[in-house]
Amino acid sequence: MNYTFADNINGLKPSAIREILKLSSQPGIIPFSAGNPAGEAFPSKEVAEISNAILEKDPIMALQYSVTEGYAPLREYIAKYMKEKYSVGSEDDDIIITSGAQQVMNLVTKVFVNRGDTIICEDPSFIGSLNAFRSFGANLVGVPVEADGIDLNALENAIKISENVRFLYTIPNFQNPSGVTMSLEKRKAVYEICKKYGVLILEDNPYGEIRFSGEDIPTIKSMDTDGIVIYAGSFSKVLSPGMRVGYAIANKEIMAKLTVCKQTDDVHTTLWSQLVSYKFVTEYDFEAHLEKIRSIYRRKANLCMRLADEHLKPAVDYYPVEGGLFLWCKLPENIDMMEFTMKALENKVAVVPGTAFSVDTAAKSDRIRINYSTPTDEQIINGMEILGKLLK
């Protein structure tokens, strides 16, 4: 049979980089292309203890159907934690537990975007979110990212000239892939610009808790007196991505729609994951665990940046990072990025070609993304040396 797919789905083209990423998961390959938390960052022993206790004491609760909004004590914990630590959330807001933060991107798009409507995105940006937007037929308009975050003039201009702008998608902390953190001044300005034009902000903050140097900068959501910011958080980078636990905090009116859509999407997030997350953050020392993770990524990031300076500079430039998982490297003009990426793969080093993160899928790029959380320290040392040799 010849299948006729929905128009939105026909627009989703098979990605040229998919084959590279497939190859890159093979054994023997140095995985600079991944985005996984380091295995050593998982509190495996604690999760086992918690899980055993849950399944011994109250197995039926963990195995039965649950409510779409999420496990109430976990929702209350997050609401309180985010309010006290980051001034996120108001009396007009509510919270929903999702199957990873990816589901927030999906639900928000479903709730707000008609086919052809515009979503403004940082360019480059996280491919998973861009594809979620594309899967609803959204018109993506990219705005360049500078060393201190999104280009404000370009943002205002993009909003002005685009039709039916539904929201701005931004990752203010340790942006994926650029590693850039938006300055406080820009966050304030972004909020004011969006407020002025009646544009919502989808603030994605998966890496916020893994700042390993410098000072926290207030979230855009903490400035949200007008109910225009939808905040997406995640346990993937601070506890476990395999569990699939994320959340959204937004105005109650928005939340009611997100909840109806989540009900039709997957009914509720796996209860075991929610229970384990809840017990971990309340019965163990979550802050000490975060400190441990931060010190792991601090070590790995510093190692990676030191080796980049040694092997890749001055030909290659990158934004120094204070958190997150990635180095975004600019190749010299005389090097073809895709050719370099393929050459690296032949030499057993997998990086992600910059084009993967372009809002315009036909755009060229002179960048590669290097992940330092997944490879071992030894792999980082060997991999950076190999990339350095290839450059010469």
Q: Which is nearer to a copy of itself, 202 or 271 (CB)?
A: 271
- Output the smallest distance, CB 271 to a copy of itself, in A: 4
Whole-number Å distance between alpha carbons of 35 and 261: 28
39 touches a copy of itself (CB under 8 A): yes
Residue 267 engages a copy of itself in binding (rule: CB under 8 A) = yes
Closer to a copy of itself by CB, 241 or 353: give it: 241
Which range of residues in 59-67, 168-176, 296-304, 336-344 is near a copy of itself by CB under 8 A?
Answer: 59-67
Q: How many angstroms separate the CA atoms of 231 and 201, rounded?
A: 8
β partners of residue 232:
204, 248
Pick one of 30, 95, 96, 105: the residue that binds a copy of itself (CB under 8 A): 105
Residue placing its CB nearer to a copy of itself in the complex, 250 or 329: 250
Stretch that binds a copy of itself, among 7-15, 178-186, 210-218, 357-365 (CB under 8 A): 7-15
- Which of these segments, 97-105, 177-185, 206-214, 362-370, binds a copy of itself (CB under 8 A)? 97-105
Helices (H), ranges, 12-167: 18-24, 44-57, 59-63, 72-86, 101-112, 127-134, 152-161
Q: Is residue 27 a contact residue for a copy of itself (CB under 8 A)?
A: no
Residue nearer to a copy of itself on the CB measure, 184 or 260: 260
The helix (H) or strand (E) run that includes residue 69 is none
Segment interacting with a copy of itself, rule: CB under 8 A, options 248-256, 279-287, 295-303, 331-339? 248-256
> Does residue 103 touch a copy of itself according to CB under 8 A?
yes
CA gap 133, 109 in Å, rounded: 6
Nearest CA to 58 among 70, 68, 71?
Answer: 71
Residue 228 main-chain phi, psi, to 5 deg: -105, 0
Integer Cα distance of 331 and 314 in angstroms: 10
Yes or no: say if 380 and 346 are a contact pair by the CB < 8 Å rule. Answer: no
Please give the sequence-ordered ranges of beta strands (E in DSSP) within 265-331, or none if there are none.
Answer: 317-318, 326-330
Interacting stretch for a copy of itself, rule CB under 8 A, among 40-48, 177-185, 215-223, 283-291? 40-48
209-228 binders of a copy of itself (CB under 8 A): 226-228
Q: By CB under 8 A, tell whether 106 contacts a copy of itself.
A: yes
Query: Contact, 96 vs 262, CB < 8 A?
Result: yes
Backbone angles phi, psi at 150, to 5 degrees: -55, 145
> Hey, what long-range contacts does 10-15 have (CB within 8 A, 24 or more apart)?
11/134, 11/137, 12/131, 12/134, 12/135, 13/361, 15/127, 15/356
> What is the rounded distance in angstroms from the CA atom of residue 254 to the CA atom of residue 375?
40
Total binding residues for a copy of itself by CB under 8 A? 78
Within residues 149-178, the interface with a copy of itself by CB under 8 A covers 166
User: Least CB distance from residue 332 to a copy of itself, whole Å?
Assistant: 33
Question: Does 114 engage in binding with a copy of itself (CB under 8 A)?
Answer: yes
User: Among 36, 347, 376, 379, which residue sits at the site for a copy of itself (rule: CB under 8 A)?
Assistant: 36
- Answer for which of 20, 31, 33, 37 binds a copy of itself (CB under 8 A) is 37
The verdict on 33 binding a copy of itself (CB under 8 A) reads: no
Tell how strand 367-371 and strand 326-330 pair up: antiparallel
The answer to whether 243 contacts a copy of itself (rule: CB under 8 A) is: yes
Q: Print the binding letters for residues 268-287 with a copy of itself: x by CB under 8 A, - otherwise.
A: xxxxxx--------------
Per CB under 8 A, does 333 bind a copy of itself? no
Q: How many CB atoms lie within 10 A of CB 79?
A: 17
